[in-house]
Amino acid sequence: MKVILISGKHGGSRSIEVGRWTRALVSFCCLGFPLGMLAIGYLAGQGSEASALRGATLDTIQEGLDQQSLGLEALQNEAELKLQALTINLAELQARMTRLDALGEHLTAMADLGDGEFDFSRAPAVGGPLAGEYRVNFNSMDLASEVDSFEARLDNREQQLGILESLFHNRKLADETWLSGQPVEKGWVSSQYGMRTDPFSGSRTMHNGIDFAGKEGSNVLAVAAGVVTWTGSESGYGNMVEISHGDGFVTRYAHNKQNLVAPGDLVRKGDPIALVGTTGRSTGAHVHYEVYKHGRPVDPSSYVHRTRR
């Protein structure tokens, strides 16, 4: 192959013989190089697109992880709030259980069951062999519902114990207002109720009470719970205390050395209300004890020897 070169300045020409390898080199330069550049550009574009795709994929994954992290944080906060609420609820239940234990001990004392049958300071005595098929599925257990169920059982027990306490209290109150026993800690009957020879005049007169001789200055006791309705000095009685016990019963305690209560005072059975003395129409230290039922004097001896209902 010949290539003719023409000079435009001098008008001459020159021919060059081109060989096979030269033609191949020229063809490569004219065609291969552009195609190669195109291929390189295509590959570069593909790499850029893949890189962009990888970046978008990573961004999507990161966004999903961020959302999961936020979800987990929300679940953790919710779990902490529920745990805090359950902790407070359990603390309240524990306080209520403590009150129930105290109430149970109080009722045990009131019922005179102090020999160990009911010991509220210890856990209940329970036991038994473990069953072979015994299983507990803690995954399915709803702790909140278990706490609610336990609270409901506590409410029921509180109501029952409250009713028992009320019954015991009413029974104890009835026992307190039950007239029985003698009005002195130690003493002996020096004069009975009924007709007797008067120690001052020697004539037969009615004696509306029982005289209990005792040590001067010792305690005079209320024979039942009640309200003090009168205290003071009464002709023939000396220093006297009068107590109303309800149901029409009134008791009087006379010849006291000193009265220890005042009108309006509430007294319980066995409370000291005066000191044994010899004031008024008296020959020695003793307590003149009278019982009135619906305004009429009755024989106190039936109440002195009275037993509990």
DSSP 219-263: EEE-SS-EEEEEEEEETTTEEEEEEEEETTEEEEEEEESEE---T
Residue 35 belongs to a domain: yes
CB atoms within 10 A of CB 172: 13
pTM (whole model) above 0.85: no
Residue 87 CA: distances (Å) to CA of 55, 79, 95: 47, 12, 12
235 domain-assigned? yes
pLDDT for the residue numbered 138: 46
Q: Which of 290, 283, 289, 274 is nearest to 217 (CA)?
A: 274
For residues 258 and 238, give the distance between their C-alpha atoms in angstroms, rounded to a whole number: 10
Confidence of residue 176 (pLDDT cuts 50, 70, 90): confident
Q: Which residues lie closer than 8 Å to 212 by C-beta, 6 or more apart?
A: 182, 183, 184, 187, 188, 189, 190, 286, 287, 289
Boundary-marking domain end, from 16, 41, 67: 67
Query: Residue 25's domain spans which residues?
Result: 2-67
Longest dimension (CA), the chain: 193
Instruction: Give domain status of residue 298, yes or no.
Output: yes
The total number of structural domains that make up the chain: 2
Tell me which of 20, 39, 67 is where a domain ends: 67
User: 297 in a domain, yes or no?
Assistant: yes
What backbone torsions phi and psi does residue 112 show, to the nearest 5 degrees? 55, 45
210 occurs within a structural domain:
yes
Of 67, 96, 112, the residue at which a domain comes to its end is 67
Locate tokens 């001789």: which residue?
A: 213
* 292 occurs within a structural domain: yes
Q: Within a domain: residue 109?
A: no
β partners of residue 249: 246, 293
Model confidence at 50: pLDDT above 70: no
pLDDT digits (tens, 9 = 90+) for 218-269: 999 999 999 999 999 999 999 999 999 888 899 999 999 999 999 999 999 9
Residue 200 lies in a domain: yes
Cα 222–Cα 254–Cα 212 angle in degrees, nearest 5: 75
Domain of 293, CATH number, reads: 2.70.70.10
pLDDT at 84: 78
Q: Cα Rg for the chain, rounded, in angstroms? A: 55
**Percentage of the chain lying above the pLDDT 70 cut:** 58
pLDDT at 207 over 60: yes
What span, in angstroms and rounded, lies between the C-alpha atoms of 169 and 167?
5
Q: What is the pLDDT of residues 102-139, one digit of tens each?
A: 766 666 666 665 555 555 556 555 555 655 554 545 44
Q: Is 286 helix (H, G, I), strand (E, B) or coil?
A: strand
For residue 26, name the pLDDT band (cuts at 50, 70, 90).
low
Neighbours of 211 (CB within 10 A): 24
